[in-house]
Amino acid sequence: MIDLSKIDVVILCGGLGTRIRNVTNDKIPKCLIDINGTPFLKRLVLNLMDQGFRRFIFCTGHKGVELAQYVHNMLPEHCEKIISHEQIPLGTGGAVWKAMRFIKSEYFFIMNGDTFCSVDFKIFVRQSIYKLERGVAVGLGILSNGLDTINSGIYFVNNVSLYSELSDWGKCCSLEKEVFPPLIGTPCYDFEVADEENIFIDIGTPEGYKKALECFK
């Protein structure tokens, strides 16, 4: 029986949001962009909680103070919320490395605070966990229009194995560009779902923002 409440989720929220600055006006973190009355990050967390997750580590950077205030004051109380803040940009790998002191679970998820995927995470875990017995990470790919596969930026990882890998890389590195490709291939995924069955949204682009407004009405 898979209990997602025992699996930590690391959510990367430190991006500058340069592609969507016409919406944020650089006044709020991009993951807090309002989507029809509800900040995007809240929609993401509520979806994860609906599936059973209860422990979240938010990696913050740009506009980190504003994000920390929102996380502690506005997100649901019946979950554990931890902030891991970086003073200078460390890349996705560096952000996770800094947050690993807070991670308690043997396996955990990494995902972006500006993306949403409606995938069934219990199925993802059930079909992927055996790969982590000797591996480091399993990436989730979204099969778009039956042709191209998009890297969702969602990874299911082995805590001890990833800690060892990041120890070798140091404090500043990219998971998707440097750490994962030699381990799980390029593109960085080996578990795929079809976009016809699962909503995938990236609000880091104007097109993705528009899609979010259409999907969450």
**Alpha carbons 102 and 162: distance in angstroms, whole number:** 14
**Alpha carbons 116 and 39: distance in angstroms, whole number:** 12
Position 11 scores a pLDDT of 98
Position 68 scores a pLDDT of 95
**pTM score:** 0.93
Position 15 scores a pLDDT of 76
Position 90 scores a pLDDT of 92
Buried b (16+ CB within 10 A) or exposed e, 120-135: ebeebbeebbebbeee
Position 146 scores a pLDDT of 61
Position 183 scores a pLDDT of 84
Domains of the chain and CATH, by start: 4-215 (3.90.550.10)
**How many beta carbons lie within 10 A of that of residue 75, not counting itself?**
17
As averages over each run of 10 residues, the pLDDT of the chain (217 residues) reads: 95 78 74 94 96 98 92 93 94 95 97 93 91 87 73 92 89 90 71 70 90 91
